[in-house]
């Protein structure tokens, strides 16, 4: 089958389109014919070895973390899905590979595609949708009347997070450029800050929750906009000791991760706020919750561009530029 292959971390060619064998189907897996796959900054980071320390992949491997397609085969123990089902998913870590004509995915990680979405729209949802759900609902427990600061509101995570936070009844603040202000307002943002003109730390005060997706300097400033007892959830690092325990890291990795987040944890403690790192997990059950919100029109995917599979390197480069409004999608079929 045709696939986008990584032969070597940090390779000069950045990956290549080539042939790989069809995946071998395990009893608890389904084989999905890929119709569309979204590109995420995570793909770039995995390709460049940024997470190799705690998320190593044996080369050659196929890149890609988001998929929408049709089931063509089911494993012997699969009970909830059948051949012909239209599904979408974020495959689990160590089981990625959506930039290909086919992928085998665990039954537990997939959900039926929302009927009101195209394959391209559906492919844009799983990674950002699950990230936002786990940050705002599972960890942050965001409630009606609370205030949340969502960084980079016009990005893939931001566009989804604003909509979910408004549905939960929160007051939403975000940052974006002047050209994207109307977009984030249309999604429900209450306070919109032009990051090129204004310092959000001087505008925002006494927030309950921050979803951090930016650099270390922005993270430190974000801690200071929280009220005592507030919480910052970071999806861009640094990883914390709880994460090291969760992935069952060896002792020396735990030690490295401890020191990576020592400074920010110390600062959070001094400010009497919480800090946690989120590396989202695959979940078909949570995707079903998200599906119901999409089916009822509460959340609508935001897509910037759709690239053909042959232009996948251009798509990754565009995501790396940070200019995308919403998600970037690869069309396979």
Sign of the CA dihedral with 203 first, then 206, 208, and 210 last:
positive
pTM: 0.97
Instruction: Answer yes or no: is pLDDT of 12 > 90.
Output: no
CA dist 239 and 261 (Å) reads: 6
pLDDT for the residue 3? 98
pLDDT for the residue 247? 87
pLDDT tens per residue across span 219-272 = 999 999 999 999 999 999 999 999 999 988 999 999 999 999 999 999 999 999
At 325, is the pLDDT very low, low, confident or very high (cuts 50, 70, 90)? very high
Superfamily of domain 128-277: NAD(P)-binding Rossmann-like Domain (3.40.50.720)
For the chain, which residues make up each domain, given as ranges?
2-125+301-331, 128-277
Instruction: Answer yes or no: is pLDDT of 46 > 90.
Output: yes
User: What's the mean pLDDT in 78-103?
Assistant: 98
Architecture of the domain delimited by 2-125+301-331:
Alpha-Beta Complex (3.90)
Q: Calculate helix-pair angle for 251-260, 262-271, nearest 10 degrees.
A: 50
pLDDT for the residue 152? 97
């Amino acid at each position: 089958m045709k696939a986008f292959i990584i032969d070597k971390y940090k390779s000069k060619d950045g990956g290549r389109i080539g042939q790989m064998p069809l995946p071998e189907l395990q009893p608890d897996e389904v084989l999905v014919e890929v119709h569309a796959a979204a590109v995420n900054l995570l793909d770039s980071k995995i390709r460049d070895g940024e997470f190799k320390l705690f998320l190593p992949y044996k080369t050659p491997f196929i890149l890609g973390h988001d998929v929408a397609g049709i089931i063509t085969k089911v494993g012997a123990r699969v009970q909830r899905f059948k051949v012909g089902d239209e599904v979408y998913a974020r495959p689990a870590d160590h089981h990625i590979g959506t930039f290909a004509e086919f992928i085998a995915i665990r039954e537990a990680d997939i959900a039926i595609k929302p009927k009101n979405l195209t394959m391209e729209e559906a492919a844009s949802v799983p990674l950002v949708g699950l990230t936002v759900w786990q940050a705002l609902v599972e960890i942050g427990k965001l409630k009606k009347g609370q205030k949340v600061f969502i960084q980079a509101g016009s990005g893939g995570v931001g566009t989804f997070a604003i909509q979910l936070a408004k549905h939960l009844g929160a007051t939403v603040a975000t940052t974006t450029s002047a050209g994207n202000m109307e977009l984030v307002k249309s999604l429900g943002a209450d306070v919109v800050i032009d990051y090129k003109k204004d310092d959000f730390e001087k505008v925002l005060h006494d927030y309950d929750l921050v979803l951090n997706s930016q650099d270390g300097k922005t993270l430190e400033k974000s801690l200071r906009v929280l009220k005592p007892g507030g919480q910052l959830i970071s999806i861009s690092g640094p990883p914390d000791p709880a994460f090291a325990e969760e992935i069952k890291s060896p002792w020396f990795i735990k030690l490295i991760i401890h020191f990576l987040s020592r400074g920010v944890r110390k600062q959070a403690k001094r400010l009497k706020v919480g800090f946690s790192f989120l590396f989202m997990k695959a979940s078909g059950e949570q995707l079903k919750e998200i599906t119901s919100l999409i089916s009822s029109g509460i959340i609508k995917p935001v897509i910037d561009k759709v690239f053909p599979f042959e232009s996948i390197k251009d798509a990754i480069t565009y995501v790396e530029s940070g200019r995308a409004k919403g998600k970037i999608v690869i069309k396979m079929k």
